C-alpha cells in the first residue's frame, strides 16, 4: 500500500496502541527507526518522548512532516536498503508490509533491540483496505518472519479502535546467544 493510500485512512492519524504499549520499554534516548513513516505519526510522537528517531519513506512530501527526526527518502520496494550497517534500539513498522525487506529490518536490530510491528492480516479484505493478498499477512506469518527473536507479545485478530480492522502485531527482542533477556517493565 502506498503512502498516499494510507494517508487518507483514519487508522493512520493516531499513534498505534501497540506502539504506545511497547515504546515504553525503551531507554531514554534510544535510537528508533520508523519504517514507512509516512507523515510521521509515530516518528514525531517518538521524538517527543525523547528518542532519537530516523524516519524512512518513499513519499518525500509526507516525510517532510517528520520534523524532529532524521529523514531518509528511499523507495524501500525497488531500491537498495539505505541503512546497511546501522543499528537501532528499536524498529517500528505499522500498516506496511513488504516481505523482502524483513532481513534488512532484522539486521538493523542492535543487541536487546525491539521490533514493534503491526500490519494488516487476512480477513481485512472483508473490512476495507487493503484488500490485496500481498499486503495481508497469513495466519501466524509475523511469528515465522521473526524466527530467532524473543517474542514478547503477539496478537492476530480483530481490533476495534480506531476503526475495525484485522491485524497481526508483534513485539520481539533480539537476543544474542549467551545474552540474558531483559524483562519487560510492567
pLDDT tens string 83-115: 999 999 999 999 999 999 999 999 999 999 999
Q: Specify the CATH number for 3-173; select among 3.40.50.620, 3.40.50.150, 3.30.450.30, 3.40.630.30.
A: 3.40.50.150
Query: Are the beta carbons of 32 and 92 closer than 8 angstroms?
Result: yes
Which alpha helices (DSSP H) does the chain contain, by range?
3-7, 17-23, 41-48, 60-63, 102-107, 141-145
Would you state the pLDDT for residue 177?
A: 62
What is the torsional sign of CA 131, 134, 137, 142? negative
The burial of 167, by beta-carbon neighbours within 10 Å (0-12 exposed, 13-18 middle, 19 or more buried), is given as: buried
Q: What pLDDT is recorded for position 134?
A: 86
Report the pLDDT value the prediction gives residue 175, as an integer from 0 to 100: 86
pLDDT digits (tens, 9 = 90+) for 19-32: 999 999 999 999 99
Q: Cβ neighbours of residue 59 under 8 Å, at least 6 residues apart?
A: 2, 3, 4, 38
**43 DSSP assignment:** H
Mean pLDDT of 125-154: 89
Closest CA to 40 of 53, 26, 29, 25: 53
Cell 516481505: give the residue.
Answer: 99
Predicted TM-score (pTM) of the model is 0.86
What is residue 141's DSSP assignment?
H
Mean pLDDT of all residues in 60-84: 93
Tell me whether residue 100 is exposed, middle or buried, using C-beta atoms within 10 angstroms of its C-beta: 0 to 12, 13 to 18, 19 or more. Answer: exposed
Amino acid at each position: 500500500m502506498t503512502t498516499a493510500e494510507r494517508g487518507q485512512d483514519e487508522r493512520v492519524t493516531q499513534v498505534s496502541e501497540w506502539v504506545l504499549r511497547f515504546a515504553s520499554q525503551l531507554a531514554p534516548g534510544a535510537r528508533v527507526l520508523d519504517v514507512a513513516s509516512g507523515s510521521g505519526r509515530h516518528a514525531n510522537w517518538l521524538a517527543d518522548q525523547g528518542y532519537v528517531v530516523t524516519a524512512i519513506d518513499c513519499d518525500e512530501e509526507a516525510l517532510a512532516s517528520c520534523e524532529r527526526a532524521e529523514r531518509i527518502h528511499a523507495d524501500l520496494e525497488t531500491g537498495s536498503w539505505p541503512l546497511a550497517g546501522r543499528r537501532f534500539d528499536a524498529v517500528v513498522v505499522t500498516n506496511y508490509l513488504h516481505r523482502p525487506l524483513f532481513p534488512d529490518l532484522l539486521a538493523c536490530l542492535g543487541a536487546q533491540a525491539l521490533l514493534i510491528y503491526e500490519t494488516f492480516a487476512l480477513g481485512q479484505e472483508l473490512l476495507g483496505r487493503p484488500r490485496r493478498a500481498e499486503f495481508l499477512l497469513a495466519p501466524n506469518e509475523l511469528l515465522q518472519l521473526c524466527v530467532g527473536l524473543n517474542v514478547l507479545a503477539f496478537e492476530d485478530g480483530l481490533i476495534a479502535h480506531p476503526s475495525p480492522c484485522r491485524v497481526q502485531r508483534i513485539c520481539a527482542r533480539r537476543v544474542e546467544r549467551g545474552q540474558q533477556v531483559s524483562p519487560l517493565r510492567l
